[in-house]
Structure 1
Amino acid sequence: MSVVGLVVAATPSIATAAEQPSAGAPPAAATTVAADGLPTVQIDGVVWSQTVVGTTVYVAGRFANARPAGAAPGTSLVPRANLLAYDIRTGVLVPGWAPSLNAQALTITASPDGSRIYVGGDFTTVDGQTARRIAALDPTTGALVPDFRPAVTASVRAIVATADTVYVGGDFNAVGSASRLRLAAFDPAGQLLPWAPGTGVGRNRDGSVAAGAGVSALALVGDQLVVGGRFGSINGTATSGVGAVSATTGEVRPFAVGQRITNQGDDSGVTSLTTDGTTVWIGAYDFSGPGNAEGVVAARVADGSLVWDADCRGDTYSTFPVGGAVYVAGHPHVCSNIGGFPEVTPRVSRFGIAYSQATTGTVGTGTWGNTAFRGAPAPSVLDWYPTITPGTFTGQGQAGWSVTGTSEYVLYGGEFPRVNSVGQQGLVRFAVRSLAPNRIGPVAGSLATPTVTAGGAGVLSVGVTTTSDRDDRNLTYSLYRDGDTATPVATQVVDSIFTTPRTVTLHDRGLAPSSTHTYVVRAQDAWGNTVTSPSSSGTVSAEPLPSAYTQTVLADGATSAWPLGFLTGSTSGDATGAAPLTVGSGVTRQATGAVAGDAGGAFALGGTASSRMVAGAAQGARSAPQTFSLELWFSTTATTGGRLAGFGNSATGSNTSYDRQVYLDAAGRVLFGVSSGSRQVLASQAAYNDGGWHHVVASLGPPGPRSGWTASSSAPHPP
């Protein structure tokens, strides 16, 4: 049997495995801020909490001084005792707001109208005046509000305020002489209210009773107050690390995820709660405790039913949802259980990342602690990876402890000394694209020397492994020839996430036979940032340039076209350069083919295993297309039947699984078979094993397989 002119055209075009979108591709609606760290006032300690009122960011922590952006440690110091404020638009310190606390502030928030700034922590004085672990401050002057003076007996770690009530949580057992077990409420005058739910101790991993039942976070929507911490119960009702109570009565409300999370005790708990009014995002940690969550769990505020679980390893300290994303301050070091980045050795923690708010997949089997979240809905890890360097101030080796922001800015606070390798201690801003410099580009020096190989006639194929970009997932790869870096000869946009490097192959066509050329590949993000590979050279095969017939086929949009007339060793070129054929030793060339004026001739196949030809074996496996047309010319007098072309699972042609096959039966009829749930086969009525040249086209697509055959031709068919 002789075959000539095998062509594949697919809609959309067939992509190699290297070009397929990854399984965890994020939804288009999830758009992150830029990864550029904007100049922001710095501190000399640690930031625990932040809140925004208008254009002012209020910051709470443990520090003694502020200094301008760009100032080295110990220089240009401005005293600030555990509190400061800065302008969100400029990052510049607000000069007139400087209340002084005698110990650290752990939480800060504003009243709904912004007329008060509430701060809680370990302090007992503000500007020398008594204020036991909670205070209300003027947002303009920083002055202590004189009529708000509760006396809380231990640390206040969480505050949420309405117009008429201030709810607090922490480690305390009393307010003044009144018993309050880690939860309390005050009116705007600082008077303790009767509202008095309480948290109870949980158990540690070894079954021992925990020493405390502290509250770390609060989130309020209407009458539903969600409570997070290290407890094992609320009002005696078992709920692990998170639960809900009525903001009016303090009665326990059903909150389903509190029965699914197992974080509680001395070394495990819930660290943060953030809500948009419908969903609450729950940050968690576990350090050899009984917990099963270290990432972020999203639940419905109304009843605690699960939305998704971002099942990453590495504690989460704070979250901020905006623009379809959820930003995280923590130290996640592996997210492969939800399709994200894997664990590496030595361990690499990513101190600022973002998840999609949308559900995009499911949790795998590698869950933490127990199996409660296996198979649960999961988000994607977005392509947002600013480099935030861990600090040493707390001795815990962490970077960010707090993240918040607005619709335009995402704000991180913590103990980090640098952001993106630039000195920026403790505070940093990230902005939406329209406000950002957008200078974070593909990783410098990350493109290896390309591989140049001869493809089909007049084609050189240039392959390079993808790089990555810390805030742009889709990069444009451009091929430049012989020193001309102004006009690329080929471009391709490729999904380029660092967790799944792949090979990009770019083709330079129409080159003179036996000519030699030098190439570089440039990767560019949407903002013009680039990285360029070293140069590499290759020589075009001696095969003549494609015939007029082949050129017509290419112009019609073929994704691969094999003229089947020339051999270079055991390879026959693809006129597109995409997928050269590996040709068996039983294939021989014959001078005359089906197309008049085409000097390529045809290949004669002997009907044995050595007569097999495999397209793109060197490029690796690819997904068989769902919509395509495959066409070829053939001539045979065989009465044994056999395959003409199709898709299989072997790089040698020894397929154990195959589909989308064009083949002949013993009677010489042409058949096209597809298996998609059920087997479907189309067959010609006439036989075509008469020795003449025949043209067959097999197509797959809605509503199913289709085939066409030309009549016999006793002479070569004109182009």
Structure 2
Amino acid sequence: MRTLTAFVALICTIALGTPARAAVAATPAFNSTVWALAFRGDTVYVGGSFTQLTFRGHTYTRKRLAAFNARTGAVLPWNPTANGTVRSLAVTVTGRPAVYAAGDFDTVAGARRDSLARIDAVTGRLDRFSHTVSGTVSTLTIGNGRVYVGGAFSRVDGATRRNIAAFSHASGALDRSFHPVADGRVRALAVTRTRLYTGGEFTHLNGASRARLAAVTPATGRLVTAFRPQAPHLVMDIAISPTGISTGTGGPGGRAVGYTPSGAVRWTHLFDGDVHNLAVLGGTTYVGGHFDRACRSASTIKQLGCPAGYASRVKLASLDSAGRLTRWNPRANGTYGVQVVTADPGHRRVGAGGQFTSIGGAGRYRFALFG
């Protein structure tokens, strides 16, 4: 694996106002897939299936969890170690900062942790937060004093929880008052003060017909009946936007879709492969997936094919506030491409991770930082 030693300025032509302008070269290289990212100040936390990082000629053992400095690229001593792939990360900065991790592991730092762990964000020490999950947890988010998790599971700590659950951030205990029921895998969660948006493979939530996308109240999980979207295909990711939410979908051609708070479609943009993840920053929606092309013009929710033709957008693209394709075109390589896109609003930057090994022809081993 080559080491990223020189600063290579990869200037990506973009539309006016797009904040993430270039790929920053001074970042580590990972030896396997990056699935999860989270920011805290200048620290980038990374989860995935990797076991080593390389930076400036040095190789570091980091088993599926790592952290580095976003300004310098220096690998930090934070080193919790998970024995299975980490799929999702979230960081809290209230009180003692902590990193929550979810994934396919059953131990972290040598201690039993069943798909979920809480780790000190500074020292990397494992917290006492420990739960028994019957199934798998693949996504999580933090808000309203709670940690929300989703996946394909039936019970948590012996209590029935169908694919979605919540824990108290303060005590770490399962929230017994929060108990929505999804009849299929939950792949995506995004939280506001009044709503927890939920996406995935389910067809019903709390017994109501809500195919693939719904919202519940953050405290009890009661269905938000005012939000009635009609998601066209499997929802793979959700991001909060200034006008509602944006979603990434799979299906015959992937889509990025913007919805209003009522669930009405604001805009749709069609790609020729799944949209795995997206992030909203400064009114721009950054999109990652395994697509190679995007429609030149905005699409309809049921559209297949692009009457106005395709534009090359290999694994990464961005859309303006009306869902129109911008000129930002970093060009990641690989078959499956980008698995995670995460925004850092405080520093106006975007991180992307996945299976790619180059951006715009320059070596970027499974992680790239734009800002």
TM bracket, shorter-chain basis: 0.7 to 0.9
Counterpart for residue 143 of structure 2: 162
Contact between 2:297 and 2:325, CA under 8 Å: does it hold in 1? no
The one-letter amino acid paired with 1:319 is L
* Partner SS state of residue 185, structure 1: strand
Partner Cα separation in structure 1 for residue 93 and residue 149 of structure 2: 15
Partner Cα separation in structure 1 for residue 340 and residue 102 of structure 2: 15
Change (3 A) 1:355 1:169: same
Q: Deviations over 1:461-519 (max 9, x none)?
A: xxxxxxxxxxxxxxxxxxxxxxxxxxxxxxxxxxxxxxxxxxxxxxxxxxxxxxxxxxx
* 1:353 aligns to 2:313 (yes or no): no
The one-letter amino acid paired with 1:57 is V
Partner Cα separation in structure 2 for residue 404 and residue 149 of structure 1: 26
How far residue 342 of structure 1 moved from its aligned partner, in angstroms, is: 3.1
User: Which of 199, 207, 229 does residue 200 from structure 2 map onto?
Assistant: 229
How far residue 430 of structure 1 moved from its aligned partner, in angstroms, is: 1.4
Counterpart for residue 290 of structure 2: 331
Partner Cα separation in structure 2 for residue 406 and residue 297 of structure 1: 21
* Partner SS state of residue 219, structure 2: coil
User: Which of 36, 53, 65 does residue 40 from structure 2 map onto?
Assistant: 53
How far residue 329 of structure 1 moved from its aligned partner, in angstroms, is: 0.8
Please identify the structure whose Cα radius of gyration is greater: 1
* 1:182 aligns to 2:149 (yes or no): no
The one-letter amino acid paired with 1:87 is N
Residues 62-81 of structure 1 mapped to structure 2, 5 A cutoff:
62-68=49-55, 76-81=58-63
Partner Cα separation in structure 2 for residue 36 and residue 52 of structure 1: 17
* Partner SS state of residue 87, structure 2: strand
User: Which of 386, 391, 395 does residue 330 from structure 2 map onto?
Assistant: 386
User: Which of 58, 73, 92 does residue 111 from structure 1 map onto?
Assistant: 92
How far residue 410 of structure 1 moved from its aligned partner, in angstroms, is: 1.5
Partner Cα separation in structure 2 for residue 255 and residue 53 of structure 1: 34
Which consecutive residues of structure 1, in runs of 5 or more, have no partner in the other structure?
1-25, 201-212, 264-268, 288-292, 360-378, 391-396, 432-719
Change (3 A) 1:255 1:219: farther
Contact between 2:198 and 2:214, CA under 8 Å: does it hold in 1? yes
* 1:144 aligns to 2:121 (yes or no): no
Counterpart for residue 231 of structure 2: 261
The one-letter amino acid paired with 2:239 is T
How far residue 338 of structure 1 moved from its aligned partner, in angstroms, is: 2.1
Change (3 A) 1:405 1:27: closer
Contact between 1:91 and 1:429, CA under 8 Å: does it hold in 2? no
User: Which of 322, 327, 336 does residue 398 from structure 1 map onto?
Assistant: 336
| Of 325-334 and 122-131, the range deviating more from structure 2 | 325-334
How far residue 309 of structure 1 moved from its aligned partner, in angstroms, is: 1.4
User: Which of 284, 300, 321 does residue 249 from structure 2 map onto?
Assistant: 284
Q: Which runs of 4+ in 1 moved over 4 A?
A: none
Change (3 A) 1:277 1:31: closer
Q: Deviations over 1:17-44 (max 9, x none)?
A: xxxxxxxxx985x424224442311111
Change (3 A) 1:246 1:321: same
Partner Cα separation in structure 1 for residue 180 and residue 109 of structure 2: 32
Change (3 A) 1:38 1:256: same
Contact between 1:60 and 1:84, CA under 8 Å: does it hold in 2? yes
Partner Cα separation in structure 1 for residue 43 and residue 273 of structure 2: 31
The one-letter amino acid paired with 2:320 is S
Contact between 2:297 and 2:324, CA under 8 Å: does it hold in 1? no
User: Which of 74, 79, 82 does residue 101 from structure 1 map onto?
Assistant: 82
Contact between 2:144 and 2:193, CA under 8 Å: does it hold in 1? no
Partner Cα separation in structure 2 for residue 62 and residue 128 of structure 1: 17
* 1:199 aligns to 2:149 (yes or no): no
* 1:409 aligns to 2:345 (yes or no): no
Contact between 1:243 and 1:255, CA under 8 Å: does it hold in 2? no
Contact between 2:296 and 2:325, CA under 8 Å: does it hold in 1? no
Counterpart for residue 342 of structure 1: 309
Which consecutive residues of structure 2, in runs of 5 or more, have no partner in the other structure?
1-13, 300-305
Counterpart for residue 615 of structure 1: none
How far residue 197 of structure 1 moved from its aligned partner, in angstroms, is: 0.6
* 1:90 aligns to 2:39 (yes or no): no
How far residue 343 of structure 1 moved from its aligned partner, in angstroms, is: 4.1
* 1:425 aligns to 2:369 (yes or no): no
Partner Cα separation in structure 2 for residue 331 and residue 162 of structure 1: 30
Partner Cα separation in structure 1 for residue 145 and residue 228 of structure 2: 29
How far residue 351 of structure 1 moved from its aligned partner, in angstroms, is: 0.7
Overall identity of the aligned pairs, in %: 26
Partner Cα separation in structure 2 for residue 62 and residue 129 of structure 1: 19
User: Which of 103, 125, 133 does residue 121 from structure 1 map onto?
Assistant: 103
Contact between 1:118 and 1:135, CA under 8 Å: does it hold in 2? yes
Partner Cα separation in structure 2 for residue 334 and residue 255 of structure 1: 32
Partner Cα separation in structure 1 for residue 331 and residue 310 of structure 2: 17
Contact between 1:312 and 1:336, CA under 8 Å: does it hold in 2? no
Contact between 1:219 and 1:225, CA under 8 Å: does it hold in 2? yes
Change (3 A) 1:314 1:144: same
The one-letter amino acid paired with 1:215 is V
Higher strand share: 2
How far residue 337 of structure 1 moved from its aligned partner, in angstroms, is: 4.8
How far residue 280 of structure 1 moved from its aligned partner, in angstroms, is: 1.1
TM-score, structure 2 normalization: 0.87
How far residue 257 of structure 1 moved from its aligned partner, in angstroms, is: 5.2
TM-score, structure 1 normalization: 0.46
User: Which of 307, 320, 323 does residue 279 from structure 2 map onto?
Assistant: 320
* Partner SS state of residue 172, structure 1: strand
Partner Cα separation in structure 2 for residue 116 and residue 142 of structure 1: 9
Q: Deviations over 1:346-387 (max 9, x none)?
A: xx6611110002x2xxxxxxxxxxxxxxxxxxx210001112
How far residue 312 of structure 1 moved from its aligned partner, in angstroms, is: 3.0
* 1:247 aligns to 2:206 (yes or no): no
Q: Deviations over 1:546-594 (max 9, x none)?
A: xxxxxxxxxxxxxxxxxxxxxxxxxxxxxxxxxxxxxxxxxxxxxxxxx
| Of 56-65 and 316-325, the range deviating more from structure 2 | 316-325
Partner Cα separation in structure 1 for residue 199 and residue 41 of structure 2: 27
How far residue 335 of structure 1 moved from its aligned partner, in angstroms, is: 0.9
How far residue 279 of structure 1 moved from its aligned partner, in angstroms, is: 2.0
Counterpart for residue 557 of structure 1: none
**C-alpha RMSD of matched pairs (Å):** 2.2
Partner Cα separation in structure 2 for residue 45 and residue 298 of structure 1: 32
Contact between 2:355 and 2:366, CA under 8 Å: does it hold in 1? yes
Contact between 1:49 and 1:106, CA under 8 Å: does it hold in 2? yes
Contact between 2:143 and 2:193, CA under 8 Å: does it hold in 1? no
Which one has more relative contact order, counting CA pairs under 8 Å at least 6 apart? Answer: 2
The one-letter amino acid paired with 1:68 is F
How far residue 323 of structure 1 moved from its aligned partner, in angstroms, is: 2.5
Counterpart for residue 5 of structure 2: none
Contact between 2:90 and 2:99, CA under 8 Å: does it hold in 1? yes
Aligned residues: 345
How far residue 281 of structure 1 moved from its aligned partner, in angstroms, is: 1.0
Partner Cα separation in structure 1 for residue 38 and residue 244 of structure 2: 20
